[in-house]
Amino acid sequence: MRIDVVTIFPEYLEPLNVSLVGKARARGQLDVRVHDLREWTHDKHNTVDDTPYGGGPGMVMKPEPWGEALDAVIESGAQGEELPVLVVPTPSGRPFTQELAVELSEKPWLVFTPARYEGIDRRVIEEYGDRLDVREVSIGDYVLAGGEAPVLVMVEAVARLLPGVLGNAESHRDDSFAPGAMADLLEGPVYTKPPEWRGRGIPDVLLSGHHGKIARWRRDEAFRRTVRNRPDLIERADPAAFDKKDREI
C-alpha cells in the first residue's frame, strides 16, 4: 500500500518511522511519503491560510496550495495506477471505525490531508470529490488542534491490517471490534507470568487447561467489561449475538 500525507508539519509524522508502521515501511510493505504543503506556495511567507469569508474567528486554509499539492501527488502515481482514496481528517467527518480501517486497508493508495486552523476551503473537498473517493473522517468526539495526530491514529489502524504486517496472522482475531464470535464485545483482561505478583494470583480457570471453560470465562469477562465501559455496544448489537449465559451476567 502507498500512503501520502500532505501537511504543514512534516515532523509531526516522524512517529511513522517507529514500531509497527516503521517496520512495515522498512520491509517494503508500506510506502509512506510525507509532503510539506508549503512547497506548493509561491509567496515570500509561504502563506497557507487566510481569514474566513463571512467573518468569524480563526483562519481557513487557502485552496491554491492544496490544489497544487494534490494535483502533484495524484500525478505522481504510476501510469494506469488506480486513483487514491482521499482521507480528509476533520472533527465534522464520519466516525473512524474498525470497519472503515478494514475498508481502507484494502485500497492500494491513500492520501491524507491533515489541516490546521479552522479547516480547508470547502471548494478543495468539492473539487477532488468530483474525481476521487473522498472520505471526511473524525477520530472521536473531541477537538484537536489539527489532523496530524488523527493521521497517525488512522495509519496505524490501517497498517496493522495489511497482510504480513502483524507477526502472527491470528493477532487481530480477538481484537475489540473484530468480526466473529466476540463481535460487539470488548477484549477482556489478560495475564502473563509470574503466577503471583504482589500477592495477586491468576484466575484459576486460566491454569486449568480446560479450553472450553477458558473460552467461556473469556467471553463472560468480555461481556462484563463491555456492559461496564460501553453499554452502547450491547444496546446496538443484534440480540441473537448473546446467549443465555450472557444474560445471566
Q: Which residues bind ligand 6GU (CB under 6 A)?
A: 89-91, 138-140, 142-144, 146-147, 150
- Collapsed DSSP state (helix, strand, coil) of residue 105: helix
206 known member of a binding site? no
User: Which one of 50, 118, 133, 243 is the catalytic residue?
Assistant: 118
Q: Which three cell numbers stand for residue 89?
A: 481528517
Q: Can you tell me the distance from the alpha carbon of 33 to that of 10, in angstroms, rounded to the nearest whole number?
A: 10
Considering the candidates 15, 25, 91, 136, report the single residue annotated as catalytic. 91
C-alpha cell of residue 140:
472521536
Of 29 and 90, the one with the shorter C-beta distance to ligand 6GU is: 90
Element (H, E) at 148: helix 148-159
We find the least distance from the C-beta atom of residue 125 to ligand 6GU, in angstroms, to be 13
**Nearest distance from residue 117's CB to ligand 6GU, in Å?**
10
Start-to-end CA distance of the chain, whole Å, equals 43
User: In the complex with ligand 6GU, which residue's Cβ is closer, 52 or 146?
Assistant: 146
Is residue 188 within 8 Å of residue 51, measured between CB atoms?
A: no
Q: Which is nearer to ligand 6GU, 29 or 98 (CB)?
A: 98
Three cell numbers written together for 78: 504510476
Residue nearest to ligand 6GU (CB): 89
Q: What is the C-alpha to C-alpha distance for residues 243 and 237, in angstroms, rounded to an integer?
A: 13
Tell me if 53 is assigned to a ligand binding site. Answer: no
Beta bridge partners of 77: none
The smaller minimum CB distance to ligand 6GU, of residues 53 and 142, is found at: 142
On whether 143 is known to bind a ligand per the annotation, the reply is: yes
The alpha carbon of residue 181 and the mean position of all alpha carbons in its chain are separated, in whole angstroms, by 23
Smallest distance, ligand 6GU to C-beta of residue 118, A: 10
Q: Is 139 annotated as a binding residue?
A: yes
Given the residues 160, 216, 224, 230, select the one marked as catalytic.
160
* CA nearest to 106, candidates 158, 151, 154: 158
**Minimum CB–partner distance for residue 81 and ligand 6GU (Å):** 27
Q: Residue 194: what residue type?
A: P
Residues belonging to the binding site for S-adenosyl-L-methionine are: 139-144
Catalytic machinery residues: 91, 118, 160, 175
